[in-house]
Chains A and B, each alone.
Chain A
Amino acid sequence: MAEETTIPGWKRWLEGIGDQVEFIIKFVRNIFTGGFEWSEFIRQCYEIGYRSIMLVGITSFIMGMVLILQLRPTLVSFGAVSMLPKTLSVSFIREIGPVIIAIICAGKIASSIGAELGSMKVTEQLSAMEVSGANPVQYLVVTRILATTLMVPLLSVLGDAIGLFGGYLALNLRDSMSFSLYFGKIIGALDFSDFLPALVKTIFFGFAIGFVGCYKGFHSNKGTESVGIAANSAVVTASLWIFVIDGIAVQITSLLFYK
């Protein structure tokens, strides 16, 4: 129905920024106004968190194993095989674990939220909710963004633990190290400054995944093709945001902890 008009790229980009700011304001306002949708929030935590455990677990386990197998030859040449647990734990907890798990979550969660809300828009479910006097932002957006903000850090912690366990098994394929010695070395190597910044950035990763998924779904066009576009765009944008947030987080962490 709407006729295509030529809008300059920069103007469309600015409009997009404005829409996103407006969407964040709506989200924040709806957290504190009206009743909180506890049942939907818990359902989303289950869908986002529990249903991602297997994927995150398998990926982290393999990443832990692969890292040990890749690091080993280099450390052997320095005669520093005993440093493997420390090297793995620092790299995995600080950087690789949170980022890889967040990327996996962006692929699974942001796309599913984008597709779900996009198809709700196409099938007029969002309009139906709006004209009935209910609040779609409160019911659909607030619950999903808060659920991802809570669940992604928890998945990240779980993924870290599974990844380190994978590393232990890989280490014992060639060498022999007891479970208690391996985890003793890991705990000894880790510091508060390794764990906390990584956990804090996963909270932002979770927010970005939920926000981008909801925004792309809510602002998809009408038409079945736009559901696929919304899902795809949600994954790409969320992944990009994860790297941007990671870059900023590393700079801040370096300034605060590793002078």
Chain B
Amino acid sequence: MEKTKEHTEPKKQAPKAKEEVVIAIKGLKKSFGKKHVLNNINLELKRGENLVILGRSGTGKSVTIECIVGLLKPDKGSIKVFDNEVVEMNDKELKELRMKIGFLFQSGALYDSMTIRENLEFPLTRILKMKDQREIDKKVKQGLDDVGLLESIDKMPSDLSGGMRKRAGLARTLVVNPEIMLYDEPTTGLDPITSREISELILNIQKKNKTSSIIITHDMECARIAADRVLVMENGEYIAEGTFDDLHKSKNKTVCAYFNDIL
């Protein structure tokens, strides 16, 4: 299959307020053993933008966002978040940066030994160092109400369904008001109705909190609902970029393959 770089102009001109770049990646390379997972990745995320990265499993989507938060160290390249070079950060600087970034894991990654309330209290008391229990309670209830899970506040994660766990994970991430959200396959393993709810929730979060987000997915419905801009990834590099509608009209065979079954 021929893979040519295809850059389509965004459908709508973004307003000036959205032009500030919050994440800038240049020449990112990452290998595991002899396998090159990321090959010279360049990416920019603008303030208030929802950027969806589409791609098949194993193409390096998750590795990209794990490099952004410093969970993985890239072999080569630069990752700047709010103009700070992540690759050169020490543990303390990385910890401070991570307070501004929310990361929703594929499984929700709720702490199994804690109730949902304790899961949300954890970042408030450990990261924001909040001490006032009434203030903590208020934030926890508000956070759960935002994702429609207030009635499950005292349940254990094992008592929740997959979709509820993802919403609880999202509430835990949002409770500290991050400026950037990174979603790792937020709708994987969910039924179409719940997937749609999560996708709409992502869109609402962007509108309400003015967050900038990178959404890793292979769910086209999620991309259609949530994306301002879409990047298509194949074998560790980007092969197409544009709005959802622009890419839908693409002539590139690989890009077309993603859009075949929809619209």
Contacts and interface: CB of A to CB of B under 8 A. Distances in A.
A41 to B, nearest CB: 14
A77 interface: no
Interface in B80-119: 95-96, 98-99, 101, 103, 105-107, 109-113
- Most chain A CB within 10 A, of B95, B99, B106, B126, is at B126
A128 B96 CA distance: 15
A172 to B, nearest CB: 45
Given A2-B32, A125-B111, A133 B105 contact: no
Contacts of B127: 132-134
B105 A124 contact: yes
A132 B103 CA distance: 8
Nearest to B33: A3
Interface in A191-221: none
A124 B106 contact: yes
B77 interface: no
A134 B71 contact: no
Contacts, number: 69
Given A2-B35, A3-B33, A127-B71, A132 B98 contact: yes
A106 B109 CA distance: 28
- Most chain A CB within 10 A, of B33, B34, B109, is at B109
Contacts of B96: 133
Contacts of A3: 32-35
A131 interface: yes
A132 B99 CA distance: 6
Nearest to B35: A3
A177 B227 CA distance: 84
Given A123-B112, A125-B111, A128-B103, A134 B122 contact: yes
A255 interface: no
Interface residues of B, number: 31
Nearest to B97: A133
Contact of A125 (B69, B71, B95, B110): B110
A51 to B, nearest CB: 14
B213 to A, nearest CB: 15
A4 interface: yes
Given A3-B33, A3-B35, A128 B99 contact: no
- Most chain A CB within 10 A, of B96, B106, B122, is at B122
Contacts of B33: 2-5
A131 B112 contact: no
B37 interface: yes
Contacts of A127: 71, 105, 109
Given A2-B35, A3-B33, A134 B123 contact: yes
Contact of B123 (A119, A123, A132): A132
A225 to B, nearest CB: 17
Contacts of A15: none
B139 to A, nearest CB: 15
A125 B99 contact: no
B8 to A, nearest CB: 30
A133 B99 CA distance: 6
A130 interface: yes
A5 B34 CA distance: 8
Nearest to B37: A1
B58 A139 contact: no
Interface string A235-246: 000000000000
Contacts of A130: 71, 98
30 contacts: A1-B37, A1-B58, A1-B63, A2-B33, A2-B35, A3-B35, A4-B33, A119-B112, A120-B111, A124-B106, A124-B107, A124-B109, A125-B111, A127-B109, A128-B105, A128-B169, A130-B98, A131-B69, A131-B71, A131-B98, A131-B103, A132-B103, A132-B122, A132-B173, A133-B95, A133-B98, A133-B99, A134-B123, A135-B126, A139-B126
Interface of A: 1-5, 116, 119-120, 123-125, 127-135, 139
Given A5-B34, A125-B109, A132-B173, 4 more contacts: A1-B35, A120-B111, A123-B109, A132-B126
